[in-house]
Structure 1
Amino acid sequence: MSKKHPIIAVTGSSGAGAEPVMTAFTHLFWRQKVKPVVVQGDGFHRYNREEMKAAVALAASRGHALTHYGPEGNLLEKLEATFREYGESGSGEHRQYLHCTADASQYHQDPGTFTPWESFPKETDLLFYQGLHGGFVSPELDIARHVDLLIGVTPIVNLEWIQKINRDACERGYSREAIMHSILERMPDYVNHITPQFSRTHINFQRVPVVDTSNPFIARDVPNLDESFMVIRFRSPKGVDFPYLQRMIKDSFMSRPNAIVLPAGKAMLAMEIIFLPMLDELMKKRHG
């Protein structure tokens, strides 16, 4: 952690639906005149698409699975070094993974490749990370310790799968069979490396649908926000003004001393209300 160069990390698995959190922070950064450097976790994958296919096949021939959820599929040492360097000096470097043709065409590259590594812009106020491993900890690495505000996005697992299937089929052109195979292949790494991070987060956002999602592999539509509740869990309720949140967010209620539940359609409003004082506190420490 660093008062001078703070880090905010949003962590969640593929298909978790972190976009509302990113949008809420984009609004706050603009309103509060905060200049972030945005780092995408996909840029720290170890292999491009073709290399990953070869590495997965080799791992399978040796009797184990290689996935983007586990450390073997990522440059987690470089990610931790990047967080450390930014906290110490406000510098570092990142790259982008180009998922689809639309992204790749902007760089005149093929989908499934990386842009070149490039240095962070000078004089940024904070680092904003979104990816799979913002709260990762192992015997060799501790990425979470560098993060000032760690946020988890973790819908119930059937909804997460529905969102992933819908996104990967519609936006990335994968078949449902390939997506289901990917989900099954990733399960051990999901259990061992993704879910433990949500016990380290400062805040978790968990969307819970109130429609039938019992078979996510045949669902035709992603449950919308009006068909869901959002459970927001704070690791420490100290300093959180829950009565104020309940007054500001219609139909919200407390389910536990550290958790508030609200209609998911109000989630964006709730995020901006919750994150604003936290962002202001980080900036106050930075300039103090």
Structure 2
Amino acid sequence: MSMKHPIIAVTGSSGAGTTTVKHTFEAIFHRENVNAAVIEGDSFHRYPRDEMKRLIDEAEARGERGISHFGPEANLITDLEQIFRAYGDSATGRRRHYVHNEAQSLRWNLPMGTFTEWEDLPVGTDCLFYEGLHGAMVTEDVNIARHVDLLIGVVPTINLEWIQKLHRDTRLRGYSKDAVQDTILRRMHDYVHYIVPQFSHTHINFQRVPVVDTSNPFSSRDIPTLEESMVVVRFKDPRGVDFPYLLNMISGSFMSRANTIVVPGGRLDLAMQLVLTPLIWKLMERRRQWV
């Protein structure tokens, strides 16, 4: 962790909704005049999309489980820890971008599923902001979580996570339903061993729980809306959290444990704004004392 160069990370599985939380942070950064250097977890994948598919196909042809983006074999995990360390020490580091869609392909004049060239982070930023799969990864080889000053987990119930992934990957990325199901199954070992353990290291978890039937996520025609959900907000350390204020400001909320507040899904953005803004204030105030 760094007093002078703070790091904020949002971590969650594919389809968990980390991008939604990223947008909330962007709104807070804009409102509070915080200049953040942004890095994307997907940019630390080890292989372009076509090569990743080839490696998976070859492994499965041998009767082996193919690598997945959830595990360290398919990602530049040590490089990710290195950029966190470098930013915390001196606000330096290098980043690139993963080309997800046609708009990005046109922007960078690169095929989808490839990477841009590495580039230096902008100079003079107030913090580093990461959104991706591995912001809290801890293994025998790396400890990314130790470098992060504010660590947020986004953890919908697993059936909801799968529904969101199915709809995103089939409708926005052009994959077949069977292909998405195969990906979910192939990733399960890495999901259990590398994704789930991260949520014990996060400072705050936002877990969306649908209140409609999601018992068969593979036959769901739509994604449960926020209004059809509740959100469990768990604080690793509840000291200093003004729960009476949050309960008063977020209509319909209640506490389920001493470190947990439950809010209506339709008020998720308000809840995130109320919870996260004071924490960003503290990071920026601490930074100003050291600059």
| Partners of 1:144 and 1:200 within 8 A in 2 | yes
Cα shift at 1:105: 1.3
Alignment map for 1:89-100 (pairs within 5 Å): 89-100=90-101
| Partners of 1:83 and 1:146 within 8 A in 2 | yes
1:46 and 2:33 matched: no
Cα shift at 1:102: 2.1
| Partners of 1:159 and 1:216 within 8 A in 2 | yes
| Partners of 1:252 and 1:260 within 8 A in 2 | yes
1:258 and 2:249 matched: no
Matched residue, 2:277: 276
Cα shift at 1:20: 2.7
Amino acid at match of 1:44: F
Matched residue, 2:160: 159
Cα shift at 1:27: 1.4
Q: Where do 4+ consecutive residues of structure 1 move more than 6 Å?
A: none
Question: Equivalents in 1 of 2:55, 2:88: separation in Å?
Answer: 33
Amino acid at match of 2:210: P
| Partners of 1:4 and 1:287 within 8 A in 2 | yes
Residue-by-residue CA offset, 1:76-122 (whole Å, 9 max, x unaligned): 01000000000001011111111222221111111111011111000
Matched residue, 2:73: 72
Alignment map for 1:3-82 (pairs within 5 Å): 3-60=3-60, 61=62, 63-82=64-83
**Cα distance change on mapping 1:148 and 1:209 into 2, 3 Å:** same
Cα shift at 1:62: 6.3
Tell me which moved more, 35-44 or 104-113. Answer: 104-113
Cα shift at 1:53: 1.2
1:123 and 2:124 matched: yes
State the secondary structure of the residue aligned to 1:123: coil
Matched residue, 2:187: 186
Matched residue, 1:214: 215
What is the aligned-residue identity percentage? 55
Cα shift at 1:170: 0.5
Cα shift at 1:56: 1.5
Cα shift at 1:36: 0.1
Matched residue, 1:107: 108
Matched residue, 1:201: 202
Matched residue, 1:170: 171
| Partners of 1:226 and 1:265 within 8 A in 2 | yes
Question: Equivalents in 2 of 1:139, 1:222: separation in Å?
Answer: 37
* Structure 1 residue ranges without an equivalent (≥5): none
Instruction: Using structure 2 for the length normalisation, give the TM-score.
Output: 0.97
| Partners of 2:6 and 2:149 within 8 A in 1 | yes
Amino acid at match of 1:41: G
Instruction: Using structure 1 for the length normalisation, give the TM-score.
Output: 0.98
State the secondary structure of the residue aligned to 2:219: coil
* Structure 2 residue ranges without an equivalent (≥5): none
Residue-by-residue CA offset, 1:119-174 (whole Å, 9 max, x unaligned): 10000000000000000010111011000011000000000000000000010000
State the secondary structure of the residue aligned to 1:233: strand
**CA RMSD of the aligned region, Å?**
0.9
State the secondary structure of the residue aligned to 1:53: helix
Residue-by-residue CA offset, 1:162-218 (whole Å, 9 max, x unaligned): 000000001000000000000000000000000000010000000000100000001
| Partners of 1:137 and 1:143 within 8 A in 2 | yes
Question: Equivalents in 2 of 1:70, 1:83: separation in Å?
Answer: 19
